[in-house]
Amino acid sequence: MAEGARRIYLTTPIYYVNDRPHIGHAYTSLAADVLARWHRLDGHEVFFLTGTDEHGQKVEKAAQEAGMDPQAFTDQVSEHFRELARRMNFSNDDFIRTTEERHKRACTALWQELVRRGEIYLGHYEGWYAVRDEAFYGEDELVERDGRKYAPSGAPVEWVREPSYFFRLSAWGERLLKLYEENPDFVLPAGRRNEVISFVRAGLQDLSISRTSFRWGVPVPGDPGHVMYVWLDALTNYITAVGYPDTGAPRWRFWPADVHFVGKDILRFHAVYWPAFLMAAGLEPPRRVFAHGWWTNEGQKISKSLGNVIDPLALIETYGLDPVRFFLLREVPFGQDGDFSRRALIARLNNELANDLGNLAQRTLSLIQRHCDARLPERAPPTGSDRELLDAAAALPGRLRALLDRQAFHEALEQVWAVVRLCNAWIDREKPWALRRSDPARMAAVLRTLHDAMRVIATVLQPFMPDSMARMLDQLGVPPEARTLAALAAPLPGGLVLPPPAPLFRKIQDQPA
């Protein structure tokens, strides 16, 4: 690895294969993808993992409803998530399925290690369970509606009574609190951290980690009448993929994970249970869990019964992939809830992509084509006004590095757009087209300054919009090997022949229904 390079491990949740992917799944994976691409651009070695969660009662039920054998069913639905990853241009290095042999092996080994360390005991579970959430709930957490009890998520609950293995979670409260205290950014955003701390402070109960009432899961070693609780199975995927239990495997060097990206619905599993399981097995906990917010659709909760599920593939079809990728991370501060609206997407596409960025490139590059013989002008000694623009652009990589280290995608994009707007204001002020006759040398210098600023913009935007920014960099004449952050230090040679520009983004004219 190059000097200063780090190993970075990023994950998405593994998605249940009870249903097709929707915008929420695309969103979490997109955030992880952008960060993975960013770190690669910055010279780091990245391992980016996504996959599918295929065991448990919920999936078994969905298979039964589809009249299919659970393995055949999960094979089919899991493929939709792979397809989503391809169509969204996700750069995941692996795609894990919990029905794979390597994963069963890891779950078995982790279980045995927990047994060896006295962290698991056999008991009896009696209490409420919500299949939709695959979660146990205490009586005091439930809400009653029309004489029926529901989980706080709105999922129906059922009374479960069965023999069960337990994990001694109650013994890990202090260690967890110490973990949060020593690592203030372990849970982000900060508001969610407090939520986790209060939950742990209120006292933890031992956790039921096996079920006997159905079969679709990893069998408990030595007691095959039990299958492992689907969340113990699912969380283990993050270490399976890096080779567990073979801690000598090359990928094991990526552990602990740098960021587990999750939705706020599954924060407790990742920020409480998971680090407890790991510490109990003598393994390091992850470095961070980032819980993002929830999307609604035009103001309404997204649900199958309301028939308003947003299909990411249909969105890409209508608006193009990169505008969708851009919109999702630009529109809503990462960590907060957001509302999906077509009107807002179209506004971002037309104003920020087509006008602000697309026109800037088109204007500058057309002037170079026409008035500089399609050749990149030499750098001239910068004037004060050039300096202002060049400095703002040059500051972007450092600013973005700091913001993306906190997963502040929206702020990163805002910083880039501040420079895009500055370029537009600058070109209007400097009027290179008017200098053609009066001062051609200054015209060339102005165009070169804009070109240099745009190169930085296109370079740092690659993780967000890989295809469009590859096209922009082609038009700017930046060779493929000169598209990293480090390569920005070397200016392009003057005289470089630039290809004729073409529009980067197309405006959408039609009004949404």
| Interaction between residue 335 and ligand ME8 (CB under 6 A) | no
277 binds ligand ME8 (CB under 6 A): no
Answer yes or no whether residue 333 interacts with ligand ME8 by CB under 6 A.
no
- DSSP string computed for 433-488: HHHHHH-HHHHHHHHHHHHHHHHHHHHHHTTTSHHHHHHHHHHTT--GGG-STGGG
Is residue 244 close enough to count as binding ligand ME8 by CB under 6 A? no
Out of 27, 111, 172, 244, point to the residue binding ligand ME8 (CB under 6 A).
27
- Smallest gap from Cβ 265 to ligand ME8, in A, equals 5
Give per-residue burial for 177-194: e unless 16+ CB within 10 Å, then b. Answer: eebbeeeebbbbbeebbe
Asked whether position 235 contacts ligand ME8 by CB under 6 A, the answer is yes
Which segment (10-18, 165-173, 248-256, 350-358) binds ligand ME8 by CB under 6 A? 10-18
What is the total count of residues that contact ligand ME8 (CB under 6 A)?
19
DSSP 288: -
Cα separation, 97 vs 101, in Å, equals: 9
The burial of 290, by beta-carbon neighbours within 10 Å (0-12 exposed, 13-18 middle, 19 or more buried), is given as buried
Burial bucket for residue 101 (CB in 10 Å: 0-12, 13-18, 19+): exposed
Of 266, 321, 420, 461, which one interacts with ligand ME8 (CB under 6 A)?
A: 266
Determine which residue in the list 252, 294, 417, 433 makes contact with ligand ME8, applying CB under 6 A: 294
Q: Is 15 in the site for ligand ME8 (CB under 6 A)?
A: yes
Q: Which stretch binds ligand ME8 (CB under 6 A): 234-242, 319-327, 424-432, 474-482?
A: 234-242
Among 162, 265, 339, 356, binds ligand ME8 (CB under 6 A): 265
Please tell me whether residue 28 binds ligand ME8 under the rule CB under 6 A: yes
Q: Minimum distance from CB of 387 to ligand ME8 (Å)?
A: 43
Do residues 177 and 167 lie in contact, with contact meaning Cβ atoms separated by under 8 Å?
A: no
Which of 9, 10, 24, 443 is close enough to bind ligand ME8 by CB under 6 A? 24
- Residue 145: CB atoms within 10 A of its CB come to 10
Report the b/e string of 413-432 with b at 16+ CB within 10 A. Answer: bebbeebbeebbebbeebeb
259 binds ligand ME8 (CB under 6 A): no
Binding of ligand ME8 by 331 (CB under 6 A):
no
Burial profile 250-281: b = 16 or more Cβ within 10 angstroms, e = fewer: ebeebbbbbbbbbbbebbbbbbbbbbbbbbbb
Is residue 295 involved in binding ligand ME8 (CB under 6 A)? yes
Q: How far is the CB of 295 from ligand ME8 (least distance, A)?
A: 4
The reply to whether 234 sits near ligand ME8 by the rule CB under 6 A is: yes
Choice from 263, 397, 440, 494 touching ligand ME8 (CB under 6 A):
263
CB of 98 to ligand ME8, least distance (A): 9
Q: Which is nearer to ligand ME8, 27 or 426 (CB)?
A: 27
User: What 3-state DSSP class applies to 500?
Assistant: coil
Is 176 in contact with 249 (CB distance < 8 Å)?
Answer: no
Q: What is the dihedral of CA 53, 55, 58, 63, to 10 degrees?
A: 100
Residue 239 contacts ligand ME8 per CB under 6 A: no
How far is residue 385 from each of residues 425, 445, 447, 449, measured CA to CA in Å? Answer: 12, 11, 13, 10
Q: Does 332 bind ligand ME8 (CB under 6 A)?
A: no
Q: In what order do the strands lie in the sheet with 300-301?
A: 300-301, 295-297, 338-340
88 contacts ligand ME8 (rule: CB under 6 A): no
363 binds ligand ME8, rule: CB under 6 A: no
Residue where the block lists tokens 């439930």 = 142
422 touches ligand ME8 by CB under 6 A:
no
CA distance 53 to 25: 13
Give CA 463 to chain center in angstroms: 11
| Position 53 contacts ligand ME8 (CB under 6 A) | yes
Q: Does 491 bind ligand ME8 (CB under 6 A)?
A: no
Closest to ligand ME8 by CB, 234 vs 242, is: 234
In whole angstroms, the minimum distance from the beta carbon of 324 to ligand ME8 comes to 14
Task: Report if residue 128 touches ligand ME8, rule: CB under 6 A.
Answer: no
Nearer to ligand ME8, 103 or 471 (CB): 103
302 is an interface residue for ligand ME8 by CB under 6 A:
yes
Please tell me the distance from the alpha carbon of residue 360 to that of residue 432, in angstroms, as a whole number: 13
Residues that bind ligand ME8 (CB under 6 A): 13-16, 24-25, 27-28, 53, 234-235, 237, 262-263, 265-266, 294-295, 302
